Chain A
Amino acid sequence: MNLGYSWVLVAIMAVITVLLRAAPLLGRRWLGNNYFIERLNQNLPGCVMVILVCSSLTTASATATPFFREIGALVIVALSYLLWRKALVSVILGVALLSLLFEVFP
């Protein structure tokens, strides 16, 4: 990993993020009444999050295939979050359960 290049990428992420957040100041009238942007924002965040789940699952997986331990742990994470709405509890539960599953099914 090239540290200088990493800082350039961090700067790019920071600038684009700030520009997106500041967009309404620049185009208040256009954005405020734009039905297309409104419809896009209805679905885009959920779609992006699902893609991030899949992508991070393949990156974080300790084994190539299959993902049954990871998927099983994620199902429990989802159920526990729907039940208790405690993000930290669900994350801890997920990591602990995955460690347990690797012990039981090495």
Chain B
Amino acid sequence: MDATRKTLWSRAFKLTLPVGMGYIPTGFAFGVLGTEAGFPLSLTIGMSCFIFAGALQFAAIPLLVSGAGVVTMAVTTLLINLRHVLYALPLLDYLPHRRASRGYVIAALTDENFSVLSSTPADAPRADLALPVSFINHGYWIAGTAVGALAGQQAMQWVPHIAFALPCLFTILAIEQYLAKRSWFAIGTGLVAFVVARAFSSKFVLIGALLIGLVVLCIKAISQEKE
């Protein structure tokens, strides 16, 4: 590795340290919950390698256990990750030039990768940093998952109610979303959609609530567009 590349990777490592502080324990929690749900090691780690989307991976655990249908899984993925549609837009001019690197950076564009890449100082070589930043953050996530999956059985004996880490994590993400957008309408719509979906079905609560929420928010977006 030449000096310029070494400097680039060490700079990327410094930029990604705060993300690592969050990714390693969260990945660990995912690994533990995957083991608790009965997933083999390969599936738990494979999810972190190929999906690399925290909220979706956590939400997928009960769906995989219950043997959810393909449509349910596809719609759930679409709704949970729809926000990613806009992430690449402001980064288009700062993506790596090589096609393979560019493809990987786009495929690994999580909330955290987006926040690091979009907040990199303007004088930094953003296009060159994109690959090491994405790669290191992905590494944190996979490493956390692997350790969690390996320590899963022991962790469950030491910590009862560890599955409760999941609602705790989603609560924190919901607070982050509220602080970013300050939209009580979004929070209220989510609550009402869940209550309504639960009242009508006990089997398709998640997908039902997500669809109700999407319909309400589409109507609101259309009405705002007309104003």
Chain A residues close to B by CB (< 8 Å)? 1-3, 5-14, 16-18, 20-25, 28, 31-32, 35-60, 62, 70, 73-74, 77-78, 81-82, 87-88, 90-91, 94-95, 98-99, 102
A87 touching B172 in the complex, CB below 8 Å, given contacts A28-B92, A47-B190:
yes
Q: Are A5 and B67 in contact (CB under 8 A)?
A: yes
A21 CB, min distance to chain B CBs, angstroms:
5
- B29-53 contacts to A, CB under 8 A, are 29, 38-40, 43, 46-47, 50-53
How distant is the Cα of A36 from the Cα of B225 in the complex, in angstroms? Answer: 7
Closest chain B residue to A39 by CB distance? B221
Q: Which residues of B contact A45 (CB under 8 A)?
A: 83, 177, 181, 186
B194 at the interface (CB under 8 A from A): yes
Q: Which residues of A contact B63 (CB under 8 A)?
A: 9
Q: Which residues of B contact A40 (CB under 8 A)?
A: 82, 217-218, 221
- For the A-B complex, the count of residue pairs with Cβ-Cβ distances under 8 Å equals 261
Chain B contributes a number of interface residues (CB within 8 A of A) equal to: 89
B3 at the interface (CB under 8 A from A): no
Is chain B's interface secondary structure helix, strand, loop, or mixed overall? helix
B147 at the interface (CB under 8 A from A): no
How distant is the Cα of A87 from the Cα of B43 in the complex, in angstroms? Answer: 26
Is chain A's interface secondary structure helix, strand, loop, or mixed overall? helix
Q: Are B181 and A43 in contact (CB under 8 A)?
A: yes
Q: Which residues of A contact B55 (CB under 8 A)?
A: 48-49, 52
A3 CB, min distance to chain B CBs, angstroms:
7
Q: 22 pairs across A/B with beta carbons < 8 Å?
A: A1-B64, A1-B67, A9-B60, A12-B70, A13-B47, A16-B74, A17-B51, A17-B53, A24-B89, A31-B85, A38-B86, A39-B220, A42-B181, A43-B181, A43-B185, A43-B186, A47-B190, A51-B206, A55-B194, A60-B163, A78-B175, A94-B164
A49 touching B107 in the complex, CB below 8 Å, given contacts A1-B38, A21-B84, A41-B85:
no
Q: Which residues of B contact A36 (CB under 8 A)?
A: 221-222, 225
Q: Which residues of A contact B160 (CB under 8 A)?
A: 99, 102
How distant is the Cα of A30 from the Cα of B58 in the complex, in angstroms? Answer: 32
Q: Are A98 and B109 in contact (CB under 8 A)?
A: no
How distant is the Cα of A70 from the Cα of B168 in the complex, in angstroms? Answer: 10
B101 at the interface (CB under 8 A from A): no
A9 touching B64 in the complex, CB below 8 Å, given contacts A20-B78, A50-B174:
yes
